[in-house]
Amino acid sequence: MNDASYNLVQAIRGPIMLIALGSLVAMDYFGVYGFGRTWPVLIILFGVLKLLEKVVARPIAQDPGPSGGSAI
């Protein structure tokens, strides 16, 4: 379950960033808010999505215990 939602959160990050980028540029072109004012939204959004990924992934990350060379 966690694995699936981790994958889902990771997969939707691209499309959401794309929609946000398109929306900000469109807003600039139509004179709502300049891209110059709104661009930090992209960074914030990326951060939030990364955070969400971590939150969803945490239980899995703890399960395998020490990672890396443990397979030897």
Partner 1 sequence: MRRGSVIGPLILIGIGGLFLLRNLWPEIPLVDIIAKYWPFVLIAWGGLRLIEILMWAIMSKPIPRNGVSGGEWMLVFLICIVGGSMYTARHYTTWFPAGRAWHGVMMDFGDSYDYTLASVEKPCAKNCRVLIENFRGNAKITGSKDATTVNASGRETVRSFQQSEADKANKETPLELIQQGDQMIVRTNQDRVSDRIRTTAELEITVPIGSSVEAHGRTGDFDIQTVNGTVDISSDNAGVRLESIGGDVRVDLRKSDIIRAIGVKGAVDLKGHGQDVELQNIEGQVTVAGTYTGQIQLSNLAKPLRWEDTQISVNCEKVPGQIHLGLGEFTAENVIALRLNARSRDIQISDFAQSLELTLDRGNIDLRPGKNIPKIEVHTHSGDLELALPEGSKFDLKASTDRGEVHNDFGSPLRVDENERGATIVGGSGGPQLRLETGRGAVTVRKASADETTFPDTPKPIKQ
Residue ranges in contact with partner 1 by CB under 8 A = 4, 7-8, 10-23, 25-26, 28-29, 34-37, 39
Token reading at 50: 């990364």
* Total Cβ atoms within 10 A of residue 7: 13
Least distance CB 29 / partner 1 (angstroms): 6
Q: How many whole angstroms separate alpha carbon 23 and alpha carbon 11?
A: 20
Least distance CB 72 / partner 1 (angstroms): 26
Least distance CB 39 / partner 1 (angstroms): 7
